[in-house]
Amino acid sequence: MANRLVHKSAFVVGGNSGIGLAIAAAFVAEGARVTIAGTNATKNAAAVDQLDQLGSAETVRAIQLDVTDRTGCFEAVNQVVETSGSIDVLVNGAGIYASRQFEAFTHDEFSRILDVNLHGPFHLTQAVLPHMKSQQWGRIINIGSSAGKWASRNQSAYNVSKHGLIGMTRCVAVEVAGTGITVNALCPGMVETDMSDALEREQADASGTTPETVKAGLHGRIAMGRYLQPDEMAGLAVYLASDESSGMTGQSIMVDGGMVFV
C-alpha cells in the first residue's frame, strides 16, 4: 500500500540518523510532508539530501533543535505548523545512551539522559497537543525501547528514561482519547545504529570485556540471532501514523527480533 500519508505533515524529531531517518524516509515515500529535527546541522543537511531523493525540496525540511530546550521545542512546533500548515504526526525519536554501573552515575549524567529521552518528548508533546486538538486529528509516536520493559545491567538511566516514556505514552493516550489523537510507543530491541555501537563500547568498558564479546552476547539473546535494521522499524511507524491505526492508542509495541523470548 502506498500514499497512506498524503496530505499529512510529520515532524520527526531525531530524524537525521538511525531509526528516525528510516521513519522519515518511509513517511516521505508514503506522501507526507516531513520536517526532521536534530542537534547537528551538518547531519540534518545530509539527511535532507538523502530524503530529497524520495520526494522533493518542498517535501522535506530540517530544523536544528535541542530537545532539552523547552522554549526551543515550542518554537520548533510553531515553526513547523507555520511552514507546513499543520503537524499531523509527531515522532519523538531523539535519544542518548550511557553505560555505567548504577553507583557510578553522577547526578548530571543521569539527569542528562532523562532530559533528552523523557523530558524532550514531554516538552514536544505538550507543545503539539493544542494544535492536534484544534484539528481533531493527530498521531504521536514515541520511540521507546525494549529497555523500557525490563531491567538491564549498567544502563539504569537509559532504562528509567524509557520506562518513563512508556508510562507517559499510556497516560497521555488516556487523557486525549476521543479527541482524534492517538499516542503509542514503538519499542525497538537491538537495532544496528550509532547507538548500538556506543552501547557495545560502553558495556565492554563497564564489564571489563570487549565490544565484540558484548555484541556476540546480545546476538545470543535475540531469537533471530541478529540486530535489526532501522528500516525494519519504519513500517510499523507508518501504520501508527496513518488512519489505519485509529483504534490503537496507549500501546508500547515491541519490534525486537524475538529478544523477549530468549
User: Is there a domain that residue 34 lies in?
Assistant: yes
Q: Could you tell me the CATH number of the domain that includes residue 36?
A: 3.40.50.720
The label of the residue with cell 503509542 reads 184
Beta carbons of 111 and 105 less than 8 angstroms apart = no
Positive or negative torsion for Cα 241, 247, 249, 253: negative
User: Is there a domain that residue 137 lies in?
Assistant: yes
The 10s digit of each residue's pLDDT in 73-104 is: 999 999 999 999 999 999 999 999 998 999 99
The 10s digit of each residue's pLDDT in 13-28 is: 999 999 999 999 999 9
Active-site residue, from 97, 158, 227, 239: 158
Give 33-76 as a DSSP string. Answer: EEEEEES-HHHHHHHHHHHHTTS-TTTEEEEE--TT-HHHHHHH
User: Is there a domain that residue 4 lies in?
Assistant: no
Element containing residue 91 per DSSP (H, E): strand 89-92
User: Is there a domain that residue 141 lies in?
Assistant: yes
User: Is there a domain that residue 38 lies in?
Assistant: yes
Q: Does the annotation mark 158 as catalytic?
A: yes
C-alpha cell, 50: 538523502
Looking at the structure of the chain, the number of domains it has is 1
Does the pTM exceed 0.75? yes
Residue 194 — pLDDT band, cuts 50, 70, 90? confident
User: Is there a domain that residue 201 lies in?
Assistant: yes
Query: Which residues form the domain of 84?
Result: 9-261
Instruction: Count Cβ neighbours within 10 Å for each residue of 71-104 and write b for 16 or more, e otherwise.
Output: ebbeebbebbbeebebbbbbbbbbbbbbbbeeee
